[in-house]
Structure 1
C-alpha cells in the first residue's frame, strides 16, 4: 500500500485521522512514526517536507525511505493512542504550493518564449531559484518571461494532476521528460505547461498570486534566477519599502532621486578615502623620518627597533618599506601589541646583509608564533606571552648576535 496516496487526493487537506502502524527509533536515536495513511508531504522533488502535529506532538521532519513515510517527532506518542489526528502547518504548506507552482509557470514561460530549459531548482525558506540552460540573459528577456508568467496567473487557469504510464507521455507536450518510468504524476496547467512532478500545487494558477524576479547571475555557464511568489512578494515589497523610507529620511531626498543621491555620496566617499590614504601616507613618511632621526648607527648598520600598540600589520609593513627605501644600511624591527597578540615586521635596506627570515623565525620562537616573508622583509605574529619590554630586549640580543656573526654576510 502506498501510504502517500492520501496526500495526492487533496493537497488542501489540513487535518486527517488514521492509525499508527509502528513507532521506532533510527540509528541516531531520533523517533519516527509510520502511519496507515498520511497527508504529510515528505522531502522530495526539490520541495521541503511538511511540518505540523500528530495528536499535538510536533512533527519535525518527514522523509520517505524504503517505501515508508517516516514522521520524525519531538517525542513518541503514548502507547494508548490507537487513533492519531494529523494537523498540517497550512501556512507553510500553502507557501510551498505557491512557490513550487510559480516555478512551473516561470520555467514554462522561458521555455515557450525562448526555448530555454530549466536544469536546476531550489525552493528555499525565503527565496526560490532556477538554473536556466543558457549562458547569457538580458533584462528584456526576463521582463517578458515574468510578464507572461503573471498573465497566466491572472487568467486563473486550472491546474490538474493525473497519473499516467511512461508510454502515455507521447500524448502530452511534456516540457521535461520524467526520470521515472512508471506511475508518473503529471501536473497540467491548462494549455500552457505539462510537467511530471510529485509536489504540492493549488487548483488554479490564480492562487499563486504573483511572481517577481529579484535578481540573476551567471553560474558555470548557466543563469541562476532568484525570484519569489505569492505572499513572499508582499514580504519582499514590505522589506524594500522600509529600506526606501529610511533612505529618503537619511538622505533627505524623494524616492525618485535616491539613486543619484547614493551615487554622489559614493563618489564623495571614494574621494575622501583617497584623501585619507594620501594623508596616512604622509603621516607614515613623517614617522619614518622621525624613526631614522633617532636611530642607532653601529658597525655601518642603522638600527631601528620600535614598539607600538594597536597598529595593523599592513601599516607596519609600509613603515618598514619607507625606512628601507630612505636608508640602505637600515635594519628595522617593528612590534605592535594588538589584543594580547604581537604583530611583528622586520626589514632591511639594500646594503644590509642580514636575513630577515632568520631574524623573524628566531623572534617568533620566543612567542610560539608563525610568519613568513623573504630575506629583505618578513612578518609574523604570536601570543603576547612576554611583556613588550622583555620581548624587545630578547630581540635586541638576537640581532646583536647576528651582527657579530659573519654568516649573514654570505647570504646574498
Structure 2
C-alpha cells in the first residue's frame, strides 16, 4: 500500500520517494511509489498533475489499493524519485471541492434539497440537486449563506474513524464503505464521508458564485465556481463587456436594451432583404420565361448561386412552364449544384434522370418526381454538365 501524503499534509507539493513497481495498462505506462503526494481521481475530483524526476505525470488512478502514476516515458533514477505536484491545480481543486460541500449543505439545510452528484470540471463545477426547479429568491438566499460561511473562516477538519464511530455524526449520506472512513467536517455546517482534498478553513475557498441552472431529467443541475475561478470568470465577463461597450457606446445598464433594439432592427432588415430578393427572383424568372417560350428544355448556368436560390427560382419557372424541362446549374469553386424539374404536363420521374446525371459528378441528391436537387464534384464545367443532362432528357 502506498503511503498517501496528501492525507497527512494537503499542502505538501514536493516529496521524495522511490519506485516500487513499473507496469502498463490500458491507460498507459505507470509507476507505483513507496510514498506519494499525488491525489488520484476519485469522488468527483480530478487527479493531480505534476512531475516525477522531471517526467510529466498526466494521470493518477487508484487501482486495488495502489496509486498508479501514469507517465509518458520511463523514470531514470527509480531509487531516488523527486515528485512535484502542480500547486495551482491542487489548490484550485481544494477550493472547488470545499465550496461544493458548503453549497450542498446550504441547499440541504435551508431547502431540504439533497445533492445527488458532483462534477469538478476544468472551467466550472456542477452539482445535481434533487428538485425540479430553483427560484431566483432561493438562489440569492443560498449564495448569500454560502459566502457568509466562507467569510466566517470556519475550520475544515478531516479525521479517520470507524464506520461505527462515523454514524454518530449527522452525516448527509449513508456510508457505502466498510472499515475506516475519512470524514470531512465543517462544524455546525457539514459532516460528510469524503476522500478529496480540502483546505484547513472555509476562508481559503475565498468566494462562490452561482452561474445558473438547467433541468437534468427530473432534477436540477447547478453550475458554479469558487475561489480564483470567480476572479477568472469576472475577468472574462469584464473583457466581453468592455468589448461590447466599444462596439455599442452606451452605459452598462443600457447595453441590454440597446443590443435588443439592434437585434430587432437587424431582423427587420433581414426580413425586408428576403422580400426584395424574392421579388428579384420573380422578375428574373419572368425574364427567363419570356425568352424561352418555345423551348422544351430551359437551362441556365450561374456562378456561386446558393442552392436555396436555385430551388426558389426553379419553382417559379416550372409553375408557368407546364410543358418544359428545367435545368439550373450553379458553379462553385470545387463543386457543381443543380436543380432539375419538369412542368405539370410532363409525366416523368426526374429522380431517375438525376440519378444518371449525378454519376457524372460523383454527386448525390434527390427530391420529388417533378423536382429534384443535388450536387457533386466539379469534374466538368457547368455548361458541359447542363448539356449532358439535356441529352439524358
TM-score normalised per structure 1: 0.91
Counterpart of 2:49 in structure 1 is 51
- How big is the shift at 1:199? 0.7
Aligned to 1:233: 230
SS at structure 1 position matched to 2:225: strand
- Cα deviations across residues 143-194 of structure 1 (Å, max 9, x unaligned)? 1111111111011111111223333343122112233233221111111111
Residue from 26, 47, 70 that aligns with 2:68: 70
Counterparts of 1:278 and 1:46, CA distance in 2: 54
Identify the residue that residue 14 of structure 1 maps to in structure 2. Answer: 13
Aligned residue among 208, 216, 237 for 2:205 = 208
1:5 aligns with 2:40: no
CA distance change for structure 1 residues 226 and 280 in 2, over 3 Å: closer, same or farther? same
Task: Indicate whether 1:24 and 2:23 are aligned.
Answer: yes
CA spacing shift, 1:70–1:264, aligned 2, 3 Å: same
Aligned to 2:328: 334
- Report 1:86-101 matches (<5 A): 86-101=83-98
Given that 2:102 and 2:146 are in contact with CA atoms closer than 8 Å, whether structure 1 keeps it comes out as yes
- Say whether residues 1:352 and 2:346 are aligned partners: yes
Residue 142 (structure 2) aligns with: 145
Equivalent residue runs for 1:104-143 within 5 Å? 104-143=101-140
Q: Which secondary structure does the structure 1 equivalent of 2:91 belong to?
A: helix
Partner of 1:379: 373
CA distance in 1, matches of 2:196, 2:23: 27
CA distance 1:376–1:181, shift in 2 (3 Å): farther
Whole-Å separation in 1 of the counterparts to 2:126 and 2:337: 45
Correspondence for 1:42: 40
Alpha-carbon distance in structure 1 between the residues aligned to 2:185 and 2:323 = 82
Give the counterpart of 1:264 among 261, 266, 272. 261
Give the distance between the partners of 1:328 and 1:134, measured in 2 at CA: 62
Give the equivalent residue in structure 2 for 1:219. Answer: 216
Runs (4 or more) in structure 1 with deviation over 4 Å come to none
- Structure 2 counterparts to residues 151-300 of structure 1, below 5 A: 151-295=148-292, 297-298=294-295
1:321 counterpart (308, 315, 322):
315
Q: Note if contact 1:356-1:376 (Cα within 8 Å) is conserved in structure 2.
A: yes
1:368 aligned to 362, 366, 375, which one? 362
Structure 1: how far apart are the matches of 2:67 and 2:179? 20
**How many residues are paired up?**
393
> Which digits, 9 at most, give the CA deviation of each residue in 1:124-153, with x for residues without a partner?
111111122222221221111111111110
Question: 1:125 and 1:225 mapped to 2: Cα distance?
Answer: 16
Give the drift of 1:4. Answer: 4.6
Q: Describe the superposition over 1:105-130 as per-residue Cα deviations: whole angstroms up to 9, x where unpaired.
A: 11111111211122222111111111
- Output the CA distance in 2 between the equivalents of 1:393 and 1:181: 80
Is contact 2:210–2:223 with CA below 8 Å preserved after alignment? Answer: yes
* Unpaired segments ≥5 residues, structure 1: 400-412
Measure the CA separation in 2 of the matches of 1:318 and 1:164.
75
- Counterpart mapping for 1:383-398 below 5 A: 383-398=377-392
Q: Please identify, of 178-187 and 49-58, the stretch whose mean Cα deviation from structure 2 is larger.
A: 178-187
Name the structure 2 match of 1:404. Answer: none
Tell me, yes or no, if the aligned pair for 1:4 and 1:69 is still in contact at 8 Å. no
TM-score normalised to structure 2 length = 0.95
When residues 310 and 154 of structure 1 are mapped into structure 2, their CA distance, relative to the original with a 3 A threshold, is same
Q: 2:128 and 2:319 mapped to 1: Cα distance?
A: 53
* Contact 1:292 1:323 survives alignment (8 Å): yes
How much does 1:238 deviate? Answer: 0.7
Flag structure 2 segments of 5+ consecutive residues without an equivalent. Answer: none
Pair 296,57 (structure 1): closer, same or farther in 2 beyond 3 Å: same
Q: What secondary structure sits across from 1:34 in the alignment? A: strand
